[in-house]
Structure 1
Amino acid sequence: MKERNKIKINGLTMPLAIDIREEISIDWSQEKIGQKQYRLEVMHEENCIYQEKKQEEGRKRTEIRLPSLPTHTSREQFTIKLDVEDENGQSIKLEKEFYSSNPRIEAAHWITRLDNPIQKEYEYFNEERNLILERSFSVEKKPATAFIDLSGLGYYTLKVNGKRVHDTYLTSDVTNYDRVVYYDTFEISEYLLDGENRIQVELGNGWYNPAPLQILGKYNIRKHLAIGRPCLLAQLTINYGDNQTITINTDSGWQARFGQLLANDVYIGETFIDTVEPRDAKTVIIYGPNGQLIPSKIPKVRRKKEFRPKLLKQQRKEQIYDVTELISGQISMDISTSFVGTLKVSFAEKIDDEQEMDFTTSISGIYGGQDRQNRDNPIIQMDCIRKTKKTALHFENEFTYHSFRYLKIEVEDCEVFPEKLISNLVAYKVHTDLEKMATFTSSNQNLNALWQAGMNTKLNNIHSYFEDCSRERFGYGGDIVALLNSQLVSFDVRNLLEKVFVDFANDQTVHGGITQTAPYVGIMTHGSSNGVGSIGWQLVFPKIAQALLTNFQAVAVVKSHKGKLEKHIDYLLSFDYDYIKYCCLGDWGSSDTVMKEGKVHTPDQLFCTATMYAIILQAYLDLFEKLDPNNFRIERLCDSIATVKREIVEEFYHEAGFFASGTKSSYIFALYGELVGENKELVERNLLALLDEKQWILTMGIFGMSWAYELLPTLGQNANIFHWLTSDATESYQGMLESGNRVLSEYFPVTPITTVQEESSINHAMFSSFSTWFIQELVGLKLSGNQGSLTIQPFFAEGLSDVSGEIKSDYGAISLIWEQQSTETYVVKVKIPVGISFEVKKEEEQAIIAQEEKLVDGIRELTINYRIVNQ
């Protein structure tokens, strides 16, 4: 398939499996051309089946619905033809092919190698080679197309004639496999040879066959995930043209082989052996997972950055290396021909004062009592390589990833570490390949480092869903809520958000509650009922729906789950206030958290929980006023919100102008939850006085911190936010970055350090919500939800001489650079694609002394001169 122009279909540059029954998104915003109007045609079998012409200036995105085809029994080819007219009347022609999804894929069978059925937990750690499933076939002549649709669970690697087809790793979208199973599609004609050919799919355990570990010391995720033996469903369709097609399905005729991984697990690592197992194996058809087969459209996991680790320390039988940055990733290396023995590679996020590996922050939990070998041993991330032959060996991770900055390589069978044992040692950063939507740089290197650390940590914790950290790897709803706006600013997350939204919809309980994580792993701390998450974590469902509506106008996606959203509303409204106000963890992660009788108590937890109930009801009211304004639940929500707010105020408000005990979290929750009414100014004054008293060290948790970056700029506090983000106090972001890890931690450094903080993750994204403030306030680019209007209002921070940033939109890239010309004057230069309306604003102490605009190649170039009039 030829890739023509920069057109995306449903966010995909290679659209090989588009569901033509659903709404289709067509995006050509990456084309750097002006646009006054466009004509779009969709061609099928040389016939135009859809067309539209819009006098739409600048916006290079549209959503269409194709008419039903008379027959749709095979994959169909379509061509998008775009004729774009620029501002000079010139015609620019764009073209893109895409294919419909395969309506016959369910003719294939789920297959696996005949081994034992699902193992008992105590047998899991017995060494067993991983699966390889193969099929030979003949090719008569060069085919017109050759597509393979496949789903390999847990993870898979596809090779044709010995060549790897894809550059992705950890390949297969993680989800609840009992509800949906995503499949991938490849066009493989370039890999085929005349005559005999061979397809090979190697399978790893992934999340479909995880180890029976006790994550966090108590959660055996196998008890809650949809699990089974690693298995494959695939269909190969070779089209020679002239209606001559060959279809090969997975069935018991495929050959089974044994791989070279004796063990592989997402939390632990991989055990590799250099020998090949020659014995015969049988392929069998199995029932497989229950989920509906759906074509995947989220970006895949790729190796995105390469590091050459530096030798830090060598001892008698081991070497310790420093990657120089904390990553979620994989390794590869060459092992010398002469060596025979066992290598163990262990991974850690930090080292101690003696430069020994410290696994404290990367331990996921314990092996658990069911494991007769390890029992209660901690889970150390480790790969084991067994080399039995005097031949060169290349090793690399395939079906696992590690969270590490440091790695230790040990030899078991030598008295000393052999010279030149290891060569070409490489560490790879591995994450979902999201397109960056924003860039930032400034004259302050600490600020630049913080921006990059936020981006690094977010990406370190995205592997086909939004994870909390690389130690737990769970899709917590609360973390997603806290970071939602910053993810929207930072990356193109539309398809990923849709997928995560469906994950939570699929895990909804029979009563209507939303789980703490998706996929659900058994956690329900402070949940409102069995299997359900705490209220702040359930907020994820309406918040993602709202983002899909507002930011992407994804009405069809949200409406398709309207029944689930309504069910959640009914569930939430079924509780009495006196009960539900206890069902949340409050402002999780706050530095003001205390331990009482071994339990975590977040600041003003009862008040914040009660307020979170009002917030989630308000989120649903806002959503349904857009989604279904005539829904009878709107009146019920209004009445319930008024009642809940009245009860909160009566129980927690003090006439002096604060709620509960007056913590920073309680002030932010009260303002965000709109509880203050006519006392708003008094509460705001008290909050600012408290922050002044505490020297603007922000100690809120993940919700309070995120909402503070929204609320405090409206109170004219950008200077103090800038102070906080650049503060060199111990308890600060800069304190997090002192380690040189270039990522953020789960908690801010505080003294004294508690056991919980000492063992917490130092590769955790939950406090990276500041990304939104960088772009919208410091750079000063605020784009409306429908992206049709832009507000320009940069903040000139004292101590910065220049700032630049760029955001991508449906109209093209928008950039802004501001520079300080003198102590009182600043020059701002903005580039705005045609079609976006804009408004230039200023602070009270600023004056706009000049403004010029010119049009260059479809881009409006704006120059604005500001003067500070009241310093």
Structure 2
Amino acid sequence: MKLPARFIGSSAEYSDFSRHIPAPCLRKSFSLSLPVKSAEMLICGLGFYRLFVNGREITKGYLAPYISAPDDLLYFDRYDVSEYLTEGENIIGILLGNGMQNAFGGAVWEFDKAPFRGSPRVSFCLTAVTETKEEIRVQSDESVLCAASPIVFDELRCGEHYDSTKEQGGWTQKGFDDSAWKPAVFLEVPRGEARICECEPIVCSQILEPVSITPIDDGYLYDFGVNRAGLCSLQVTGRRGQEISLEHGERLLENGRLDLKNIAFVPEGYVQKDIFICNGKGEQNYVPSFTYHGFRYVFVKGITKQQATRNLLKYLVLHSDLQERGSFSCSCEILNKLQEMTRISTLSNFYYFPTDCPHREKNGWTGDASVSAEHMLLNLNPETSFQEWLRNIRKAQTEDGAFPGIVPTGGWGVDGWAGPAWDNVIVNLPYYTYIYRGNTQIIEENYGAILRYLHFLSAKRDQNGLIGFGLGDWCQPARPANTPKAPQVVTDSILSMDMAYKAAFLLEVIHMPLERDFAEALAKSLRESIRKHLVDFSAFCVKGNCQTSQAMAIFYGVFTKTEAVNGFQQLLKFIHAEDEHMDTGILGARVLFHVLSEFGYSNLAYRMITRTDFPSYGNWIVRGATSLWEEFQPENAVVTSRNHHFFGDVSHWMIKQIAGIRYNPSGSDGAKAVIHPHFIDALTFAQASHETPHGKLNVYWVRRNDEIFFFIRKPHNIMLMLELDAGYTFLNGRREYEVKEDTFECRVLISNRN
């Protein structure tokens, strides 16, 4: 399909902090002499657009069409507009926002210097076929008329300013007087590859009301009770010229005022701030068009006491339109809260692709997505969005095979500095998507980039055959983010080995034996180097002598199975040395609790997670967390973000280790599953589900005295094995049972256990 490439706008001038240029409205009038049989419209609005046909908005969702670097990929949306067209005059109305085309609020990551930076622009083509088979084409050109909109400022990270006194009512409808509007001008065509956007749109999934309204000095603090992401809907009757400002944040100072210091990467007065100016014409409703915020609290200035009502603000919770695929609940309210917090943080940070935080950065950090890929696929359906984002990641890959740490990027971080722990997103997203969904297309699309990266890694090996560059075990408790106990050469070398093994697996799936052999040889060579230079086999300790080094070596197979038993004893010593507290960053936390469960220590993992003193997940909860935080910090230290998903693998641990759901455990047969629960002593019941490609798999167990009652519902064509830990048996004395029934119930006896 040929996509239109005629970009127009109101001018080549673009906004910055010193000069605000209003978002442009574009209007195209055309006539149809006959009824249409079909009509399709293709549109690419950069950075964002809203689309109207004859006064009706038909935009697919918020922040359309996508968030990408225009020099890499240009996203078009396709609309069937036949039902909106009429005989006679018809009007196409388009409102444009800056988006990534002019993301000057991201100067920390040099988006203000991006080579594609420019003014908003749009390319569109409407093709209508009449009942007489006549084809009529309407496209972006100089016959389109432009004017300034009431959006006098918009920036993706900063917010939006809207002056409703400048509204031109009816501009998207027929009969509007556009004689004062000026013709559009042709603008530079971005260099990116044009394609239709295939991922889920951004939608409003929930509307929250404030739980409290508190007058503070010159304004009112609205508390919505939970830290999420989205926009506020403002409903107000104000006097003409009344200016109302909304500042959004996730934490408060001791005096109760909003604290924006942890998310302030832009000039003062621009931090997640929306401004609305009333026109005095009765009740008005305003929702920003081209931004979003991460927040729990909103500080409102410029309203009267009479206006400070519950109806003034509503919280529109926004995220990509991902559907639930997994669930977990149990008798422990801390675990239930963690499951809820993981879901909140995952969705708060999914705007077409996984981001790191919804307030400060809004960046697609690759390492964050990599450690979260499995728990996202267990709980939601992100695979289509993963596949779309991977197209952007491939475009960002350098000629020598390196990746930037964030995608999209305007050129910042493209020298491969992030390192293997972040770059393994190119393997982990295809790998886990294939495991859970059986998608081979995602492998076929990415194998070239994977191989290029493996060659890049090969060239980065040192004299000992090891790899150590970029970022390490990020955010270890009570330490600066990139000063972990685990040496970088340990985490990078192990993850590089893991990448190569996974790449070999994926290449085998798509029948590429020569490439598979290369990847497997690299993996084996890395493992040999790790074992030779990073492991002290006299004590079975990995360099660093810490929880992360030891757990990663066990989880990723540096040790043999026999050696791992001794290595695990050292891990227990490191845990006990910390008084049974977790002491890992995101790389160690991804594997630590799974290792404990696989060696029969799920009760210890449970205690480490749920204890309420620092550092622990439970400590977050008793300190008031409603979403996952970026760091484990003591009470008097700064937590830089209170809405991050990269510590969310705890949800995966609950579904897999407590409830026992292990779908496609071998990786090679999507028609098989194993249920192998670990019955935590402190729990009286646990429930989990996962929607496999064959249907939903449900597991529920409940403890009654010295027995456990098990209930399973499985898809008909799933082969299912039920396995028990030592110390538990079925009534026949066995610990394994092939479940052939679609609905199955059984009793489990609790025998002597160590």
SS of corresponding position for 2:628:
coil
Amino acid at match of 2:39: A
Report the Cα offset of residue 801 of structure 1: 2.3
Match of 2:745 in 1: 863
Match of 2:614 in 1: 730
Match of 1:563 in 2: 448
Aligned 8 A contact 2:663 2:674 in 1: yes
Asked if residue 172 in structure 1 is aligned to residue 65 in structure 2, the reply is yes
In structure 1, how many angstroms separate the alpha carbons of the residues matched to 2:381 and 2:662?
16
Aligned 8 A contact 1:592 1:602 in 2: no
Asked if residue 420 in structure 1 is aligned to residue 307 in structure 2, the reply is yes
Match of 1:504 in 2: 393
Match of 2:174 in 1: none
Note the alpha carbon deviations across 1:393-413, whole angstroms, 9 max, x for none: 2221211111111111112xx
Distance 1:829 1:350, change over 3 A: same
Match of 2:139 in 1: 249
Aligned 8 A contact 1:829 1:864 in 2: yes
In structure 1, how many angstroms separate the alpha carbons of the residues matched to 2:64 and 2:689?
31
Query: Greater CA deviation, 386-395 or 562-571?
Result: 386-395
Distance 1:301 1:721, change over 3 A: same
Query: What pairs up with 1:107-506 in 2 under 5 angstroms?
Result: 109-113=6-10, 115-118=11-14, 124-166=17-59, 168-211=61-104, 213-215=106-108, 219-224=109-114, 226-276=116-166, 279-315=180-216, 317-338=218-239, 340-363=241-264, 365-367=265-267, 377=268, 379-411=270-302, 417-420=304-307, 423-470=311-358, 471-506=360-395
Report the Cα offset of residue 472 of structure 1: 1.3
In structure 2, how many angstroms separate the alpha carbons of the residues matched to 1:523 and 1:293?
23
Amino acid at match of 2:514: N
Note the alpha carbon deviations across 1:644-695, whole angstroms, 9 max, x for none: 6335533552622212231111102222343334532211111123323434
Query: What pairs up with 1:559-598 in 2 under 5 angstroms?
Result: 559-578=444-463, 581-591=467-477, 593=479
Match of 2:642 in 1: 762
Aligned 8 A contact 2:485 2:544 in 1: no
Aligned 8 A contact 1:443 1:800 in 2: yes
In structure 2, how many angstroms separate the alpha carbons of the residues matched to 1:860 and 1:560?
36
In structure 2, how many angstroms separate the alpha carbons of the residues matched to 1:866 and 1:208?
60
Report the Cα offset of residue 535 of structure 1: 1.9
Match of 1:7 in 2: none
Asked if residue 776 in structure 1 is aligned to residue 634 in structure 2, the reply is no
Amino acid at match of 1:437: R
Asked if residue 105 in structure 1 is aligned to residue 3 in structure 2, the reply is yes
Note the alpha carbon deviations across 1:461-507, whole angstroms, 9 max, x for none: 01011111122111112111111111111111111111122121110
Note the alpha carbon deviations across 1:61-96, whole angstroms, 9 max, x for none: xxxxxxxxxxxxxxxxxxxxxxxxxxxxxxxxxxxx
Note the alpha carbon deviations across 1:689-744, whole angstroms, 9 max, x for none: 33234343212111111122433322112222222232222321122123444201
Amino acid at match of 1:134: R
**Cα RMSD (Å) of the superposition?**
2.7
Report the Cα offset of residue 852 of structure 1: 11
Amino acid at match of 2:122: L
In structure 2, how many angstroms separate the alpha carbons of the residues matched to 1:632 and 1:304?
44
Amino acid at match of 1:716: G
Q: Which of the residues 826, 829, 840 maps onto 2:722? A: 840
Amino acid at match of 2:119: R
Aligned 8 A contact 2:501 2:520 in 1: yes
Note the alpha carbon deviations across 1:731-769, whole angstroms, 9 max, x for none: 21122123444201001132662xxxx151111111011
Report the Cα offset of residue 418 of structure 1: 4.6
Report the Cα offset of residue 854 of structure 1: 10
Report the Cα offset of residue 437 of structure 1: 0.6
Query: What pairs up with 1:806-821 in 2 under 5 angstroms?
Result: 806-820=689-703
In structure 2, how many angstroms separate the alpha carbons of the residues matched to 1:718 and 1:521?
45
Asked if residue 746 in structure 1 is aligned to residue 633 in structure 2, the reply is no
Match of 2:490 in 1: 607
In structure 1, how many angstroms separate the alpha carbons of the residues matched to 2:730 and 2:739?
18
SS of corresponding position for 2:653:
helix
SS of corresponding position for 1:105:
coil
Distance 1:225 1:462, change over 3 A: farther
In structure 2, how many angstroms separate the alpha carbons of the residues matched to 1:153 and 1:425?
29
Aligned 8 A contact 1:523 1:531 in 2: no
SS of corresponding position for 2:214:
strand
In structure 2, how many angstroms separate the alpha carbons of the residues matched to 1:132 and 1:544?
39
In structure 1, how many angstroms separate the alpha carbons of the residues matched to 2:526 and 2:321?
45
Distance 1:644 1:314, change over 3 A: same
Note the alpha carbon deviations across 1:238-270, whole angstroms, 9 max, x for none: 233452332211211112122111100111111
Report the Cα offset of residue 565 of structure 1: 2.4
Amino acid at match of 1:829: F
In structure 1, how many angstroms separate the alpha carbons of the residues matched to 2:580 and 2:510?
40
Query: Greater CA deviation, 344-353 or 560-569?
Result: 560-569
SS of corresponding position for 1:178:
coil
In structure 1, how many angstroms separate the alpha carbons of the residues matched to 2:737 and 2:484?
55
Aligned 8 A contact 2:202 2:351 in 1: yes
In structure 1, how many angstroms separate the alpha carbons of the residues matched to 2:486 and 2:410?
27
Match of 1:788 in 2: 671
Aligned 8 A contact 2:221 2:299 in 1: yes
Report the Cα offset of residue 636 of structure 1: 6.9
Aligned 8 A contact 2:127 2:138 in 1: yes
Note the alpha carbon deviations across 1:100-149, whole angstroms, 9 max, x for none: xxx2433x521111x24456xxx553122101112122344543332222
Aligned 8 A contact 1:664 1:699 in 2: yes
Query: Greater CA deviation, 581-590 or 483-492?
Result: 581-590
Aligned 8 A contact 1:325 1:740 in 2: no
Matched residue count:
732
Normalised by the size of structure 2, how large is the TM-score? 0.91
SS of corresponding position for 2:565:
helix
Aligned 8 A contact 1:317 1:410 in 2: yes
Amino acid at match of 1:537: W
In structure 1, how many angstroms separate the alpha carbons of the residues matched to 2:673 and 2:132?
53
Aligned 8 A contact 1:317 1:417 in 2: no
Amino acid at match of 1:642: S
Distance 1:806 1:545, change over 3 A: closer
Which residues of structure 1 form unaligned runs of 5+?
1-102, 368-376
SS of corresponding position for 1:451:
helix
Aligned 8 A contact 2:403 2:415 in 1: no
Distance 1:312 1:506, change over 3 A: same
In structure 1, how many angstroms separate the alpha carbons of the residues matched to 2:674 and 2:461?
42
Report the Cα offset of residue 837 of structure 1: 0.8
In structure 1, how many angstroms separate the alpha carbons of the residues matched to 2:106 and 2:373?
30
Aligned 8 A contact 1:816 1:830 in 2: yes
Report the Cα offset of residue 331 of structure 1: 0.5
Aligned 8 A contact 1:737 1:744 in 2: no
In structure 1, how many angstroms separate the alpha carbons of the residues matched to 2:636 and 2:284?
48
Query: Greater CA deviation, 739-748 or 599-608?
Result: 599-608
Distance 1:670 1:335, change over 3 A: same
Which residues of structure 2 form unaligned runs of 5+?
169-179
In structure 2, how many angstroms separate the alpha carbons of the residues matched to 1:812 and 1:561?
27
Amino acid at match of 2:6: H
Note the alpha carbon deviations across 1:768-789, whole angstroms, 9 max, x for none: 1112112222222211144301
In structure 2, how many angstroms separate the alpha carbons of the residues matched to 1:693 and 1:741?
27
In structure 2, how many angstroms separate the alpha carbons of the residues matched to 1:379 and 1:389?
26
Aligned 8 A contact 1:852 1:864 in 2: no
